[in-house]
């Protein structure tokens, strides 16, 4: 019987390994940037073309490589970081497995130029599909330049799974930010199709955070710094007003390595539990430094998921450090002992307490009650207010006796469960609409706003209670959906166009959505690096609120991107509807309420908002009568 088990050829084994390490251009960006950091570079440049599909190039001024090392670095599991098994548990460098360059060379065409410090001649190597095509001496600057070209050229099926250029560019920017945030002492530059997206000077951690996240965070950062023999925590958390609806501005680093840890994230969320809304997420950029022996980073190919030897200690320490910083900077809520302005205007507070007033006060029975020993409980029987207290008791007793039989009757009724009154099913929506049309007096029945959140409207069989925000969200959702599918919405032109400056990640997101945004009524034009000119917005957005509208739209879009598995257009339409809907707490005129009611029941699906929340609940007169025992 023939043997059927064979060793895989090296090029196939490398491609399989590349499937774990290099999933998209951003994966290669991460590995190449980390190699440059490990090389001791003080200046690192990232060059991208065609969202990394055509070119990903990293140039650094690190220590460079010898000719032998330049050739050896592309072999599988070739590394300078580990010599013995013990070294695996004392890792302080970013890379250590020796997989990255071998995987990159297996799925792309690579050009490497490198020269060691103190040498005159460098080395040039060309690799194609794991095979070395050329190796020769060359003139180059000190450090290393490595270019990865035509990603997945030899694996077309993998290339077909890549997303749009804007989407892939967002992932690249994310990886760039994570590395640049961890090393503020290094200068980083990012060029995309010859356009400079980032130029990050060397500086302090706070300067790096503000340069990446935006200047508006300058006054919203709270410093965190706690040290023990076991671990250190330092960095910044955001004040409560910096919290957002998405997790975008949250960074954890362990020994300068970016990680994802739901466990530690929960520790921070509990520290903020009482000072931000339940559906908001705080900003944080936190660095944890501890002995590498207490952490295992070798549990995932991307090294973003790690294990701690004592997670409970980590949780408690991080939570305590954040709480302490918030309290230290007076961010935690405090009791307000200031008097109400209305109380301050009373004569008893504002007028001086003269000797005459003191004498008058001292003669009152109330004053004597609290100043004479053992008299705080004494009631003055001669008080005119208490002379007839017994008569009041007798009247109350007789009333109680006369109503006892009524109480006995009602006891059995009140102890029974109330009849269920709730939202009617989707099939009954038509009947609600029919009743509104059949009721000839509908125009005379003015809707009522309840607690600036709900709209109460009468129908023939009872009434309906409408959630104003959910209802308006449904109306806008269907309006925007029609605009994408049928007729584009006209833009309301601004008298004075505004300039919108966005963080690079958000700017890449706007570029991705730009064609659909223009169909939905946003007149936007790119205007230089991460800047857009807003010339017009949809008609239902208040003039002067253009920037807040677009920023809110981006937050909602990122929220839906994280939570929902729907296409980009659906995410955009839902985000716009949610962002532009009338919020709870806003007072509405009668005309506005009536418009919401009319437009809601003209929708194709009026009973639920896009996210599934009910837009209205109907109450029948028969059910109401049962509730009152009728």
Other Cβ atoms less than 10 A from the Cβ of 243: the count is: 18
Average pLDDT over every residue of 365-391 = 55
> 134 falls in which pLDDT band (50, 70, 90)?
very high
> Structure pTM?
0.66
Lowest-pLDDT range of 318-327, 469-478, 508-517:
508-517
With 70 as the cut, is the pLDDT of residue 297 above it?
no
Whether residue 338 has pLDDT greater than 50: no
Give yes or no for a contact between 208 and 221, defined as CB atoms under 8 angstroms apart.
no
Write out pLDDT tens, residues 567-602.
667 777 888 888 888 888 889 999 999 999 999 989
Check residue 308 and give its pLDDT: 74
Percent of the chain at pLDDT > 90 equals 26
Residue 462: helix, strand or coil by DSSP?
strand
CA quadruple 8, 13, 15, 20: dihedral sign: positive
CA distance 217 to 505: 16
Cβ count within 10 A of residue 260: 13
The b/e string for 124-158 (b: 16+ C-beta within 10 A; e otherwise) is bbebbbbeeeeeeeeebebbbbbbbbebbebbeeb
Q: What is the pLDDT of residue 113?
A: 95
Say yes or no to pLDDT of 605 above 50. yes
Strands 250-254, 284-290: parallel, antiparallel or unpaired by DSSP? parallel
pLDDT-based confidence at residue 111 (cuts at 50, 70, 90): very high
Angle at Cα 561 formed by Cα 556 and Cα 565, nearest 5°? 130
**Could you tell me which residue, 95 or 288, shows the higher pLDDT?**
288
Least confident of 141-155, 427-441, 520-534: 427-441
What's the confidence (pLDDT) of residue 123?
A: 94
- Is residue 205 within 8 A of residue 236, CB to CB? The reply is yes
Instruction: Determine what percent of the chain is predicted with pLDDT higher than 70.
Output: 73
Both tokens of 518, joined, read 């223009």
- 451-476 average pLDDT score: 91
pLDDT band for position 336 (50/70/90)? very low
pLDDT at 100: 80
Eight-class DSSP state of 614: B
* pLDDT tens track for 399-439: 545 445 444 444 444 444 444 444 444 445 656 655 654 55
**115-129, 496-510, 597-611 — which is least confidently predicted?**
496-510
Lowest mean pLDDT segment, chosen from 28-42, 169-183, 363-377, 600-614: 363-377
Q: Dihedral of CA 455/457/462/466: which sign?
A: negative
420/267: higher pLDDT: 267
Per-residue model confidence as pLDDT tens digits over 113-130: 999 988 999 999 999 888
Q: Which residues contact 432 (CB under 8 A, 6 or more apart)?
A: 424, 459, 464, 601, 618
CA pair distance 531, 173, nearest whole angstrom: 16
Distance CA 466, CA 609 (A): 11
Between CA 434 and CA 460 the distance in angstroms is: 9
Q: Which two tokens stand for residue 117?
A: 């410090």
The pLDDT score that the predictor gives to residue 26 is: 92
Comparing 519 with 205, the larger pLDDT belongs to 205
Question: For position 300, what pLDDT does the model report?
Answer: 52
What is the residue-averaged pLDDT of the chain?
79
Higher pLDDT, 423 or 464: 464
* pLDDT tier at 389, thresholds 50, 70, 90: low
pLDDT at 32: 92
Contacts 24+ apart (CB under 8 A), 58-63: 58/29, 58/32, 58/33, 58/144, 58/145, 58/146, 59/143, 59/144, 59/145, 60/36, 60/143, 60/144, 60/145, 61/141, 61/142, 61/143, 62/36, 62/38, 62/143, 62/144, 63/39, 63/116, 63/117, 63/143
Q: What is the pLDDT of residues 43-90, one digit of tens each?
A: 999 999 999 999 999 999 999 999 988 888 888 777 666 666 665 566
The pair of structure tokens assigned to 369 is: 């009650």
What does the pLDDT read at residue 346?
A: 54
**Mean pLDDT value across residues 550-579:** 72
List, in order of start, the domains of the chain with CATH numbers: 10-200 (3.30.565.10), 205-328 (3.30.230.10), 364-416 (no CATH), 420-630 (3.30.1370.100)
């Amino acid at each position: 019987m023939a043997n059927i088990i064979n060793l895989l050829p090296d090029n196939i084994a490398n491609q399989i390994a590349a499937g774990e390490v290099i999933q998209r251009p951003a994966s290669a960006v991460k590995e190449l940037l980390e190699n440059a950091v490990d090389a001791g570079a003080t200046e690192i440049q990232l060059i991208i073309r065609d969202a990394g599909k055509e070119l990903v190039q990293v140039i650094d001024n690190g220590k460079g490589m010898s000719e032998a090392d330049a050739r050896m670095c592309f072999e599988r599991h070739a590394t300078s970081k580990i010599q013995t098994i013990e070294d695996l548990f004392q890792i302080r460098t970013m890379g250590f497995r020796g997989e990255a360059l071998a995987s990159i060379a297996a799925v792309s065409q690579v050009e490497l130029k490198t020269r060691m410090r103190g040498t005159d001649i460098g080395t040039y190597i060309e690799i194609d599909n794991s095979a070395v095509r050329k190796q020769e001496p060359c003139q180059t600057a000190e450090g290393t330049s490595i270019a990865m070209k035509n990603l997945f050229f030899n694996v077309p099926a993998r290339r077909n799974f890549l997303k749009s250029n804007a989407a892939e560019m967002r992932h690249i920017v994310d990886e760039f930010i994570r590395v640049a945030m961890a090393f503020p002492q290094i200068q980083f530059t990012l060029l995309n199709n010859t356009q400079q997206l980032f130029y990050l000077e060397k500086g302090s951690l706070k300067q790096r955070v503000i340069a990446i996240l935006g200047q508006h965070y300058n006054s919203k950062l709270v410093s965190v710094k706690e040290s023990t023999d076991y671990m250190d925590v330092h960095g910044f958390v955001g004040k409560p007003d910096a919290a957002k609806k998405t997790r975008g501005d949250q960074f954890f680093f362990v020994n300068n390595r970016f990680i994802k840890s739901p466990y530690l994230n929960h520790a921070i969320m509990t520290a903020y539990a009482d000072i931000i809304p339940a559906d908001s997420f705080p900003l944080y950029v936190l660095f944890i430094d501890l002995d590498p022996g207490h952490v295992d980073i070798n549990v995932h190919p991307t090294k973003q998921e790690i294990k701690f030897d004592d997670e409970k200690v980590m949780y408690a320490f991080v939570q305590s450090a954040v709480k302490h910083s918030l309290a230290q900077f007076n961010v935690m809520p405090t009791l307000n002992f200031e008097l109400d302005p209305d109380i301050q205007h009373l004569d008893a507070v504002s007028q001086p307490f003269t000797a005459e007033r003191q004498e008058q006060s001292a003669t009152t029975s109330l004053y004597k009650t609290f100043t004479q020993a053992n008299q705080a409980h004494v009631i003055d029987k001669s008080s005119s207010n208490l002379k007839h207290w017994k008569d009041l008791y007798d009247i109350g007793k007789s009333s109680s006796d006369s109503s006892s039989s009524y109480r006995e009757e009602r006891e059995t009724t009140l102890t029974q469960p109330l009849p269920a009154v709730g939202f009617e099913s989707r099939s009954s929506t038509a009947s609600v609409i029919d009743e509104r049309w059949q009721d000839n007096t509908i125009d005379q029945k003015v809707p009522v706003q309840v607690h600036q959140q709900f709209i109460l409207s009468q129908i023939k069989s009872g009434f309906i209670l409408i959630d104003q925000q959910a209802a308006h969200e449904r109306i806008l959702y269907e309006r925007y959906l029609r605009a994408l599918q049928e007729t584009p919405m006209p833009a309301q032109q601004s008298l004075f166009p505004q300039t919108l400056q966005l963080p690079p990640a958000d700017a890449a997101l706007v570029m991705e959505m730009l064609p659909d945004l223009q169909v939905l009524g946003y007149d936007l034009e790119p205007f230089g690096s991460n800047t857009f000119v807003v010339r017009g917005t949809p008609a239902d957005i208040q003039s002067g609120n253009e920037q807040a509208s677009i920023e809110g739209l981006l937050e909602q879009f990122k929220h839906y991107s994280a939570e929902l598995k729907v296409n980009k257009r659906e995410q955009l339409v839902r985000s716009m509807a949610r962002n532009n809907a009338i919020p709870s707490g806003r007072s509405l005129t009668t005309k506005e309420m009536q418009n919401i009611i009319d437009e809601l029941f003209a929708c194709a699906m009026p009973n639920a908002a896009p996210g599934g929340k009910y837009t209205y609940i109907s109450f029948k007169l028969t059910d109401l009568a049962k509730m009152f025992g009728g």
